[in-house]
Chains A and B, each alone.
Chain A
Amino acid sequence: MEFLNAFVALSNYVLIPGIAYGSQLALGALGVTLIYGILRFSNFAHGDTMAFGAMVTILVTWWMQAQGISFGVLPTALLALPFGILGTMVLLVVTDRVVYRFYRQQKAKPVILVIVSLGVMFIMNGIVRFIIGPDDQNFADGARFIISARDFKAWSGLDEGLALRTSQGITVITAVVVVVALFWFLNKTRTGKSMRAYSDNEDLALLSGINPERVVTYTWLIIAALTTVAGVLYGLDKSFKPFTYFQLLLPIFAAAIVGGLGSPLGAIAGGFVIAFSEVTITYAWKKVLGYLMPEGLEPDGLVQLLSTDYKFAVSFVILLIVLLFKPTGLFKGKSV
């Protein structure tokens, strides 16, 4: 009984949130890694692109809610998601045509592109705040829980309740669908193979029938889908606030680098490594240990290694360790 209670508490506060957060980071890191592999720079505007995609989705969601359109128990935001993706596609393709293409034609060095993306970041940042404001926005609707703590307690007879929020369930399912679709695309379709070829050896790709501009455009379209999905899932799960998306940049980059920049599989693994490190290190283990330790030995303190205020420090430390000891990451990406 004690053990089951401990396990339920662990699932509730560590496993489920970790998996959901890991999926969100993995989607973000996949985007970062694709851009790094194909366009060859670290895109600092990634977090704000996520914010933009989420913002468009939220605006459409509000409009749908006002029209009385709903998706039953599921959040209306899922219906609005395709519009968010379309909006972001337009934004990214226009940005590429107006900004990045110029530097590509100059054969600008990656460092220059990184700085350029920093500029793009500030502009996107401004656009999002201008349109929706800097504050928290609420757009989640539908059923809040798939399994609620009270129902679970009544059903299992345990002291601990297990809660599975709808947003967490949706996050994981959506992430799996998106990742499967992406890998199918990259490995099985001609366009996907062109993208991999371009990422693998640009000089050679340029000297064959691969049209580089087309590869770049498709990359941005995929990035638009990935960022919007990641941004909306994060917003549904936590909340939408433009500044948090900027902050997400650190764990996302940490995930991509830990996994190995340029490696899609690595990005997914990295996402979960970072998410679980962050969650386990900032979680107060008092409750779980209370069930597991023999009587009299239960901890008095919170048993929390780091306060949640320092959660970004976790990504930072992991990033440093990886860069020091294995710069190519877990899955042999390009070294940074």
Chain B
Amino acid sequence: MIVVEDVHKHFGGFHAVDGASLTIAEGSITGLIGPNGAGKTTLFNVIAGVLAPTSGKVTMAGEDITGLPPHDLFHMGLLRTFQIAHEFSSMSCRENLMMVPGGQSGETLWNTWFGRKRIANEERALAAKADEVLEFLTIEHLAEQKAGQISGGQKKLLELGRTMMVDARIVFLDEVGAGVNRTLLNTIGDAILRLNKERGYTFVVIEHDMDFIGRLCDPVICMAEGRVLAEGTLDEIKANEQVIEAYLGTGLKNKNKVGA
């Protein structure tokens, strides 16, 4: 569904993504792992249109989407979450979710004045949907709370909730599990599996928690130093010499995270 061909992203002389190529199959839950600074988030940003690649090509369902603005990609069904949770801090959690779907009648000045009834109906449907999502994520009690005031883990859940507000085709999750407790992490895992089965979402999941990856993802892609090192099932990846070397090479700080 998504094909990344030889993408480079350089920051000055630094090669954050250095010739990465990979294919993400439709309907899959693909895991993307790699040591800190491997270029995973940067690659996400290139695919999601936040950063323009220095060179290389990204296609979605055969269509060239390289360098398209995030807004257009959103309308093509490509969504992503942020590693560091983003939120509209002065709005309630419910309003945050209600901001997601585009193409609302209330967006034109004409309707603001003359289409009040239609807007009210749409808003009601949206609010109901947002509440459903909040309930699914077990944070329905936060609906009225300002998103700037909720905890870091709850913000992560809100990030995930955002992708459930529209019919996405492919969702890129950048460490949704970081800072979320185990029980909730399992809930998130269930949610991902369910969205994948019931709604046919394709997922690409960056995660350092190998249990989480192992439970959800097939295949798993391992990146290091801006390049794709290996692809396969988690067990194959764990057995891969290059991968072990890449993780050990970055020092002890990642060792516990690999969990190998």
Contacts and interface: CB of A to CB of B under 8 A. Distances in A.
A218 interface: yes
A214 B100 CA distance: 15
Interface in B6-38: none
A191 B106 contact: yes
B151 interface: no
Q: Which of A185, A191, A196, A209 has the most CB of B within 10 A?
A: A209
Given A190-B107, A191-B112, A203-B50, A211 B86 contact: no
Interface in A186-207: 189-191, 193-194, 196-197, 200-201, 203-207
A197 B88 contact: yes
A212 interface: yes
| Main SS at interface, chain B | loop
A189 B112 contact: yes
B109 interface: yes
A307 interface: no
A197 B112 contact: no
A211 B102 contact: yes
B88 A209 contact: no
A210 interface: yes
A208 interface: yes
Contacts of A201: 86-89
Interface string B82-96: 100011111100010
B70 A206 contact: yes
A323 B254 CA distance: 43
| Main SS at interface, chain A | helix
A210 B105 CA distance: 12
Contact of B80 (A205, A207, A209): A207
A210 B123 CA distance: 15
Nearest to A215: B107
Interface string B107-145: 111001000000100010000000000000000000000
Contacts of A208: 74, 99-102, 162
B241 to A, nearest CB: 38
Contact of A193 (B50, B80, B95): B95
B187 interface: no
B100 A209 contact: yes
Contacts of B75: 209
A218 B90 contact: no
Interface in A14-33: none
Contacts of B109: 191, 218, 221
A221 B70 CA distance: 25
B74 A190 contact: no
A208 to B, nearest CB: 5
A207 B102 contact: no
Contacts of A212: 69, 71
A212 B69 CA distance: 10
A193 B75 CA distance: 19
A42 to B, nearest CB: 22
A208 B107 CA distance: 14
B62 interface: no
B47 interface: no
A170 B27 CA distance: 63
B79 interface: yes
Nearest to B80: A207
A210 B88 CA distance: 13
A172 to B, nearest CB: 26
B41 to A, nearest CB: 13
B58 to A, nearest CB: 16
A206 B74 CA distance: 9
B104 interface: yes
Contacts of B210: none
A138 B106 CA distance: 41
Contacts of A210: 71, 99, 102
A209 B74 contact: yes
Contacts of A206: 50, 69-71
A210 B75 CA distance: 10
A19 to B, nearest CB: 29
B166 A209 contact: yes
A190 B119 contact: yes
Given A203-B50, A211-B107, A197 B74 contact: no
A202 B107 CA distance: 17
Interface string B228-260: 000000000000000000000000000000000
Contact of B74 (A196, A207, A221): A207
8 contacts: A189-B112, A190-B104, A190-B123, A197-B91, A201-B89, A208-B162, A209-B75, A209-B103
Across the A-B interface, give the 7 residue pairs with the lowest CB-CB distance, nearest first.
A209-B102, A190-B106, A204-B86, A200-B88, A206-B70, A208-B100, A197-B88
Interface of B: 48, 50, 69-71, 74-75, 79-80, 82, 86-91, 95, 99-109, 112, 119, 123, 162, 166
Given A203-B82, A207-B71, A209-B102, 17 more contacts: A190-B106, A190-B107, A191-B107, A193-B91, A196-B90, A197-B88, A197-B91, A203-B86, A207-B50, A207-B79, A208-B100, A209-B74, A209-B75, A209-B99, A209-B101, A210-B71, A212-B71
